[in-house]
Amino acid sequence: MARTVRKTDPVKKAGRKDGFNRSGHSMNPDRKISGLRGVSKARDKATIKRLQMYRNFKAKRDESGKVIRPAPFQSKFPSGTVARVEPNRRWFGNVRVVGQSALQKFQEELGQAIKDPYQVVMRQTKLPITLLKESSKFARVHLLETESFENTFGPKKQRKRPSLATGDLDSYVSSAQKFSDGYEIEKDGALVRDLPDDRDLTREWIMKAGLSKRIWGELYKVIDCSDVIIQVLDARDPLGTRCKQVEAYIRKEKSHKQLFFVLNKVDLVPTWITQRWVKTLSSEYPTMAFRSSMTHPFGKGSLINLLRQFGKLHSDKKQISVGFIGYPNVGKSSVINTLRSKKVCKVAPIAGETKVWQYITLMRRIFLIDCPGVVFPTGETDEEKVLKGVVQVEKLKTPEDFIPAVLERVKKEYLSRVYRLNDWKDATDFLDQMARRTGRLLKGGEPDNNAVARMVLNDWQRGKLPFFVAPVNPDAAKVEEKTEEDATAAAVEETGEETEKDKKKFEPRLAQDFSKIRVDLKYEGDDVQPLEAQPDFMDDPSADEAEDDEDAEENVATDKATEESKSADVSKGEDNEGLDDEEDDYEDEMDDEEEEDSDVDAAAKKKQAKTLKLKARTITKSGAFSVTPTSRSTKKGGGGDEDDRPENPRWKLTSRERRKIDRDQKKKKIGTHFYEVVNVKNKSKKKGFLEMAKAFRGHCKK
């Protein structure tokens, strides 16, 4: 009897054969790409494979576990296929070999380049780097893996006598005696100890700010997506706002990324402190000073030039991303706003304003990534967290507990000058006097110490109280640097030339004139010291900006460029004018040089003009006569000599100075004063008057 096939029976279909897929689906890499309607840019094969990886990231198997369809980017050969060697005659030819001395030299050079923050390893080598690291020398031996407990002791032991470090009884006794002499009872963790009578209270929940898993995830996303990482430090306490754990992580796991420091808020500390901190931190990573300000920034042009240099290093990439990391309230978003000359990131004088990471376009090839502030678990006390600006003052239950730490760090003269107090006994007396002077009183005339303490802590976090941490042992650093310079000079004298490593050394241009920093706070006494000798700044800070038109047009901050485009005399080097105070100072120096050149003797000028006229004559091929070009004459003065010009003071100025005078005379169109004259009241009256004038002249039909 014939069996009837039911509709529910599975029908086995033939599997897909190898070859080209002729369908026009958007996920088909073999489809026809040219001539598609409504598609500006079709997906390429790499994009399709990446999307397939997101969707089908696992291999497809049947009920028995056999792989029906492998996972994306996996081998196309079925399991069990015998691999074969490609028949190539290069297998039988000469091979590349390297000697032991060459390997050791390469290992030393590579180790020095990796440890040096001013050197960048541009190209990955084909040599086995893992063998050169020699990590097996320093790895600890896992005893339980080599000799398990069952194989050493018990009925299944594989050896009869245990291996001991000593061969005889006397040496064994001496080693035991030496071990017992070095015993310290404080370090013995096996002892049972009594619990103390007192126990620390539970910390406030606000003290865990910046430690959440979400914020740490934002930090790792910024580190992964960035080619260059900038760690922003507070100039008042650079070491307190620095994280060694993240630096070690980047050095170990992300060694191909460049890291350097930006010392922000340099307007709150003396200039010599900024100079010494930059000098101290530059020995580990490239460091530069910065002041976040829309009107008077410092270090803006130097930072943009440094980012341009990193962009040229990564010339193989379409664009590079620069990530800003650091503690909360150190000014990461303010630095980005200063670079853009525009408020593109939300900023506030309190911690935790930035919640998620944010991409900002600085130029066509350079992007900035803003990261929320992360607090690194370094065992800080509650006082240190509050004084570093990590915690919002408004959320503290007892802010008066942190006032003694403020009084210890800030000098008494500065507190007396800021709050107009003469003397106080302790922190409570200080708060009482502050409350009575400011009128912060409760019922019955009792001082409101809570409100006054919040006011003092806010002044501390917002930089109204003069305070800084000086670098440790600056004299020792000077002696060490002088020793290194002497050793380098002696080596150069012996060899007669610099080494190849010094020639290839990548040193970012971080030359800054610290005397141009505007310090907002007033310091007195020992806190005021002169600056150390600085090198001459002969290089133009804006030279990199005028190298090519593309980089000049990339800059998104075109507020001043829009205003300058109306004048026909704007030169190429002035497109990004006003990037930094350092650039203005450089232009002033160039103007002085041009003025000195303009004061040459008139006789020398006439002689030079006569020589130029002789050179300008053109002799015809026949030699019968010569042609001299006519001088350019104006409509008003005609063609005359320079001595016939009227006595106008503008003739004595250079072209740069004349353009500067014209720019200063124009009103800047900023804020509410965009138009020079705003006459809203008589606007309709003026409009009617203009129509009457046009009708009278015959321009209007009425």
Same-domain status, 357 and 420: no
Contact 227, 257 (CB under 8 A): yes
Same-domain status, 507 and 594: yes
Q: How many Å apart are CA 436 and CA 351, to the nearest integer? A: 30
Q: Which amino acid is at 398?
A: T
Contact 382, 342 (CB under 8 A): no
Same-domain status, 411 and 373: no
Tokens found for residue 304: 């943009």
Is position 417 within any domain? Answer: yes
Is position 604 within any domain? Answer: yes
Q: In this predicted structure, what is the pLDDT of residue 330?
A: 92
Q: Dihedral angle at the C-alpha atoms of 195, 198, 199, 201, nearest 10 degrees?
A: 170
Taking the model in full, what pTM does it have? 0.57
Same-domain status, 312 and 349: yes
Q: In this predicted structure, what is the pLDDT of residue 549?
A: 37
Q: Which residues pair with 320 in a beta bridge?
A: 366
Same-domain status, 608 and 519: yes
Q: Pick from 461, 486, 519: which residue ends a domain?
A: 461
Domain count, the chain: 2
Contact 272, 280 (CB under 8 A): no
Same-domain status, 506 and 592: yes
Contact 324, 233 (CB under 8 A): no
- Transcribe 332-359 into DSSP letters: HHHHHHHHHTS--S---SSTT---S-EE
What residues of the chain score a pLDDT lower than 50? 491-509, 537-601, 614-616, 618, 620-625, 627, 630-646, 702
Is position 246 within any domain? Answer: yes
Q: What SS3 class is residue 320?
A: strand
Is position 46 within any domain? Answer: no
Q: How many Å apart are CA 338 and CA 293, to the nearest integer? A: 6
Is position 175 within any domain? Answer: no
Q: What SS3 class is residue 13?
A: coil
Is position 657 within any domain? Answer: no
Which tens digit of pLDDT belongs to each residue from 141-170?
A: 677 777 777 877 778 877 666 667 787 888
Same-domain status, 215 and 319: yes
Is position 196 within any domain? Answer: no
Question: Which region, left, alpha or beta, applies to residue 218 given φ > 0 means left and ψ of -120 to 50 means alpha?
Answer: alpha
Length of the chain: 702
User: Which CATH number goes with the domain that contains 431?
Assistant: 1.10.1580
Give residue 390's domain range: 382-461
Same-domain status, 332 and 442: no
Is position 646 within any domain? Answer: no
Q: How many Å apart are CA 332 and CA 347, to the nearest integer? A: 9
Rg (CA), the chain: 37
Same-domain status, 233 and 306: yes
User: Which CATH number goes with the domain that contains 510?
Assistant: 3.40.50.300
Q: Pick from 576, 593, 612: which residue ends a domain?
A: 612
Same-domain status, 454 and 600: no
Could you write out the three-class secondary structure of 411-437? CHHHHHHHHCCCCCCCHHHHHHHHHHH
Same-domain status, 446 and 586: no
Same-domain status, 366 and 394: no
Q: Pick from 578, 612, 646: which residue ends a domain?
A: 612
